Chain A
Amino acid sequence: MLEASNLECVRGERRLFAGVSFRLAAGEMLALQGRNGSGKTSLLRMLCGLTPAASGEIRWCGRPIARLGEEFRSALCFLGHQNAIKEELTPLENLLATARLAQEALDEEAALAALELVGLLGREDLACRYLSQGQKRRAALARLVHEKRALWVLDEPYVALDRAAIDLVAGLVGAHLQRGGLAVLTTHQAVAVSAGSVRELTLGDDAASQQRL
C-alpha cells in the first residue's frame, strides 16, 4: 500500500540518504533505525508529505501522495518529535481538540477511557504544563488508542517513556497492525510488537546509496 522508490534527501549541502526504497503492505510495520542525523525524521516527514523529496517518489495505493493530497492525509496519522499538545490545555481538552480538528467523532467518555489506558486518569483536568515529560508523551500517545486511520507514522514514540508505557504503545501498534493497518516508526531500541510483521531499514550506512529492502 505504501511504496517508496529511490528517495533522496538533501539537507543544506549534505545528502543524508539516497536510493531508499521500500514497500509496505497492510499489517506490516517498518522500523527505521540509524544514528543521529542520518535522516530518520526527514524520511518520516517525506512520507507524510511535509517535506518534498529531492528525488524519488512515494505512492499510496499506487498513486503519488503529492497528487492524492487530502485523500492521503485522511488516511494518515502522524506523531512527530514534538508532542503537539498544548501546555495550557488539560490532557482531556488536548485529546478532544485534536479529534475535533481531525474531524473525528470522539466523545468525552471514549477520551477518558483512552487517558485511563495511558495512565493519566486523575490528571485529566491538570494543565499539561504541570505534567512530566513522560506524562506529556503519554498524553500525546493517548490519540493512538482510538485512532482508526490506516497509516501511522511515529517519530521516536518510545522516547521519555517508562517500561510499562513502552509495552503499552507496542501493544497499540500491534493491535493496529492486526486490524490491517500500516506503521512506520523510528526507534533506537528494539521493541517487539505483538502482531504483524516487522521490516527493518537502517539509514546512514556506508552503503546508503544502495539501500534496499
Chain B
Amino acid sequence: MSNRLINWFRYASPQSFYPLAGRMIPWFWGLAAIFGVAGLGIGFLLAPSDAQQGEGYRIIFLHVPASWMSMFIYLVMAFWAATGLAFNTRLSGMMASALAPTGALFAFLSLWTGALWGKPMWGTWWVWDARLTSELILLFLYIGFIALQAAIDDPRRADRAGAILALVGVVNIPIIYFSVQWWNTLHQGASVSLTKAPSMAAMMLWGMLLCALACWMYSIAVALMRVRVIMLERERHTDWVRALLRGKE
C-alpha cells in the first residue's frame, strides 16, 4: 500500500513523468486511430440511414462525442486544478493548462457540427436551444481560462489563478445549465426542442461509442504531448531538461 503511494508521487514530478508520457503517447495515438476508423466505418458504411433525417444525421458521430468530451474535459481540468491547489504539485497545473485547448476545440467542434446538422434539419444554422446555448457558454468558460493563463507571466501564479477560475466554473456549470434550460422552456415558441432522443439502431450506438472512445484517446494523446512541451518550457533551467536537450543534440 505504502509502496504504491510512493510510486504515485514519484510520477507526480515532471522529471519522471516526462519519459513515461513519451512512452504512452504512441499507444494512445494508435488506439485513437483504431477506434476512429472502426467508429467512422460503422457510422458511415454500416449504420442504416435514419427514417426521418436521411443521411444528414451521420454528423452525430462527430457531434455527440465532441459535446461529451467538451464537458468531460472541463471536469478533468477542474479535478487537476483542485489537486494542484490542495497538494501544490507542479504537474497538476501543467495538466490543467494542457487540457484546456483540447476542451475548447471540442466545444467549438460541437457547436460547428451542431450548426451543420441544424441547417438541413431545421433550415437554420443556429437555434437558441438550451444545449447549444450551454455549449456556447462552456466555450466562453474555456476561452476565459486560456486567456487568464496567457495573461499571467509567472507560471506558478497562472496555474493557481486558473485553478481558482476552473473551480468557480465547475460550480457554476450546473447552475448555468439549469438556468438556460429554464429560460428555454419559458421561450419555447422561439426554438426547436432537441431533447427527444431519436430512436437509435444498435449499429448507430456502437458507431457513436467507438467514435467517443477515439475522441477520448485522441484527447489523452494530445494532452500528454502538450504537457511534455509545457514541462520543457517551464523547467528549461533545471538540470534534467538541460541534460535531456544536450542528449538530443
- Is there a contact between chains A and B in the complex with CB atoms less than 8 Å apart? yes
B85 to chain A, nearest CB (A): 13
Is A13 an interface position by the 8 A CB rule?
Answer: yes
The interface size bin for chain A is under 10
By beta carbon, the residue of chain A nearest B234 is A13
* Interchain CA distance A12-B235 in the complex, whole Å: 11
Set of chain A residues within 8 Å of B154, measured between Cβ atoms: 12
The A-contacting residues of B in range 224-245, CB under 8 angstroms, are 236-237
A115 to chain B, nearest CB (A): 38
B16 to chain A, nearest CB (A): 19
Set of chain B residues within 8 Å of A13, measured between Cβ atoms: 236-237
* Interchain CA distance A89-B178 in the complex, whole Å: 46
The interface size bin for chain B is under 10
The B-contacting residues of A in range 9-46, CB under 8 angstroms, are 12-13
Set of chain A residues within 8 Å of B236, measured between Cβ atoms: 13
Set of chain B residues within 8 Å of A12, measured between Cβ atoms: 154
Give a binary string over B135-167; 1 marks a CB under 8 Å from any A CB, 0 the rest. Answer: 000000000000000000010000000000000
* Interchain CA distance A199-B154 in the complex, whole Å: 34
The A-contacting residues of B in range 186-207, CB under 8 angstroms, are none
By beta carbon, the residue of chain B nearest A11 is B154
* Interchain CA distance A13-B154 in the complex, whole Å: 10
* Interchain CA distance A180-B235 in the complex, whole Å: 45
A135 to chain B, nearest CB (A): 35
* Interchain CA distance A13-B237 in the complex, whole Å: 7
A46 to chain B, nearest CB (A): 15
B152 to chain A, nearest CB (A): 12
By beta carbon, the residue of chain B nearest A15 is B237
* Interchain CA distance A25-B120 in the complex, whole Å: 80
* Interchain CA distance A13-B241 in the complex, whole Å: 14
By beta carbon, the residue of chain A nearest B236 is A13
Give a binary string over A53-81; 1 marks a CB under 8 Å from any B CB, 0 the rest. Answer: 00000000000000000000000000000
The A-contacting residues of B in range 109-156, CB under 8 angstroms, are 154
A10 to chain B, nearest CB (A): 9
By beta carbon, the residue of chain B nearest A54 is B156
* Interchain CA distance A12-B236 in the complex, whole Å: 12
Set of chain A residues within 8 Å of B237, measured between Cβ atoms: 13
A11 to chain B, nearest CB (A): 9
* Interchain CA distance A12-B155 in the complex, whole Å: 9
By beta carbon, the residue of chain A nearest B238 is A13
A24 to chain B, nearest CB (A): 28
* Interchain CA distance A191-B154 in the complex, whole Å: 36
* Interchain CA distance A209-B236 in the complex, whole Å: 22
* Interchain CA distance A13-B242 in the complex, whole Å: 14
B239 to chain A, nearest CB (A): 13
* Interchain CA distance A123-B208 in the complex, whole Å: 76
* Interchain CA distance A194-B154 in the complex, whole Å: 42
* Interchain CA distance A12-B154 in the complex, whole Å: 7
List, sorted by A's number, 3 A–B pairs whose CB atoms are closer than 8 Å. A12-B154, A13-B236, A13-B237
Q: Which residues of A contact B (CB under 8 A)?
A: 12-13
Closest 3 CB pairs of A and B: A13-B237, A12-B154, A13-B236
